[in-house]
Structure 1
């Protein structure tokens, strides 16, 4: 299908966004921690990349990808970020289904807990109720890299965590070599540090049972940050949830298994019966 031209700008003068499609229903996409590593301006290439990524949703949905403000205060919590997105939904979008990816999945859980009136359905993608204990050391190391401005190394580490097979070997190597020509350029380097701190501190295990919107928990069983046991724990404690598990997939399951991922999400948002788990 032809990909429509996306709209870009800043909601309330502080939330960079891309809007694409004109479907009758709305999906709000909350991005992951990598959102803190770009300059906060969706140029034409970035906006078209968003449009292509969600092209299979555009007949049924209007898709908003909404970034967080630049210059996050020290001590910003996932709860405070969820309150920001509640403001976005109330004032600038409308009640919508929410697709939270990685860190965005944490924000989505908190948003659905605090403001179920704004969330039709929730997709928690490559995320769970808390970070796996064994990955805390990894994130702390990446935070230290952020203090030192080692953005190419941070990107390379995330690429290794995301992919499998030849991609896991090739993509980090490319990031460290040809990728040095265009390293990540965060508008405010502290945003990455504060985002890492918010992820490290977040734990929703005591609130899962009170999250009202129907939820899809979807990810890879070999995700180093949110592995199978975390995904299952999250699913099992939610009162109305579905689980989709990709065998052998890591943190980038939403990209590496994109067609199947999109199928799961679209069927879930449409309210169709669950298929067998992947």
Structure 2
């Protein structure tokens, strides 16, 4: 394992990487333990097949930075932007159309804001701006199952109040961010997926990964297609899941989403993977961020050497998305589950998000009005704040 450092305003936070049960991962935060805060596992979306956390250090840096936003589990903090964000309980009266974030925008029973209207859902003062030092990527194998601490690797005792900082081969110490913290993993799917692999099979693989993490159970957030995987994971392996979040993922694609993925399958079959990445950039960001991401996507064609299995892995994953329909699995999900989605998503309808939340016995729904698949980036503080409050059982968020 190679050391990396995520620089934050509060000091430094080490990023670690490796493999668990053959799945590449990046982790930030404290080492998982049986008696600590439960780990949070992030399950990525469809494009993970094209570029995972074990494939290129700039991407791993970005994903480690995203993971860092969830490390703090503190209850306090400032409210973030996107104050129009509203949540609703899926069992609201009136068939759900009167709940917050509905087409008419009128708050209904069970909303976060109640009759007072929208509620600010912020991420608190625990967001972690990022910057990771490059040493080497991908990581060489280690003898301890894929992860070991930097201090242990150098033969030095670990200081529980400090984080090892890697800079030009020197081990330094810097304060950790204040407050209670949890380990956060981004876990990619392995290369060389079996032909015909389904989202349910991917969920079984994910369960084995979580079972190898100390504690044996985790909070799990699935992003887009990752939400498909998380639904099966919670239904089939509830002992591995404490709370679940489907972020920008419903029980199945709507027709517009199916058409888009069909188009991507055609691009992948022709070997035009860069075109898929550029199209995804247009969905994930707006304005200057979109152009910056498109510029980065250009490097995918010119500079990066994607895995030789990337095309086939993408095709397998895309077909698994088209085949996914968890409508008959929702009632089997026994863990508290949050669905987060916008009313302008290119893959899922607002009705689909609501249907998914209502079908899960412990389901809740938070709608982001005016948002689509770009919500993770453009509505980051609101999205992350809602998820973090849900995971800690905060009454300020449904669940």
Q: Distance in 2 between matches of 1:35 and 1:214?
A: 26
Q: CA, structure 1 residues 43+211, in 2 after alignment: closer, same or farther (shift >3 Å)? A: same
Matches within 5 A, 1:24-63: 24-38=37-51, 41=54, 44-59=57-72, 60-63=181-184
Which residue in 1 is equivalent to 2:225? Answer: 103
What pairs with 1:183-194 in structure 2 (closer than 5 Å)? 185-188=306-309, 189-194=311-316
> TM-score with structure 1 length normalisation?
0.91
Q: Which has the larger radius of gyration?
A: 2
Equivalent of residue 5 in structure 1, options 14, 30, 37: 14
Match of 1:138 among 232, 247, 260: 260
Cα offset for 1:187?
Answer: 4.0
| Kept in 1: contact 2:53–2:60 (CA 8 A) | no
Which moves more between the two structures, 112-121 or 242-251?
A: 242-251
Shifted more, 103-112 versus 43-52: the winner is: 43-52
Alpha carbons of structure 1 residues 275 and 113: separation in structure 2 relative to 1, 3 Å? closer
Mark the runs of 5 or more structure 2 residues left unpaired by the alignment. Answer: 1-9, 31-35, 73-180
Contact 1:219 1:231 in 2 (8 A): yes
Q: Does 1:68 align with 2:189?
A: yes
Quote the RMSD (CA, aligned, Å). Answer: 2.2
The separation in 2 between residues aligned to 1:121 and 1:242, in whole angstroms, is 12
- The answer to whether the aligner puts 1:112 opposite 2:234 as a matched pair is yes
Contact 2:389 2:397 in 1 (8 A): no
1:57 is paired with a residue whose SS is coil
Q: CA deviation at 1:167?
A: 4.8
Paired position in structure 2 for 1:87: 208
Partners of 2:37 and 2:196 lie apart in 1 by 38
Alignment partner, residue 240 of structure 1: 362
* TM-fit CA distance, 1:274: 3.5
Higher relative contact order (CA 8 A, sep 6+): 2
Cα deviation, 1:248-278, whole Å, max 9, x if unaligned, reads 11112112111111100110001001449xx
Q: CA deviation at 1:39?
A: 6.0
> Which residue of 1 is the match for residue 344 of structure 2?
222
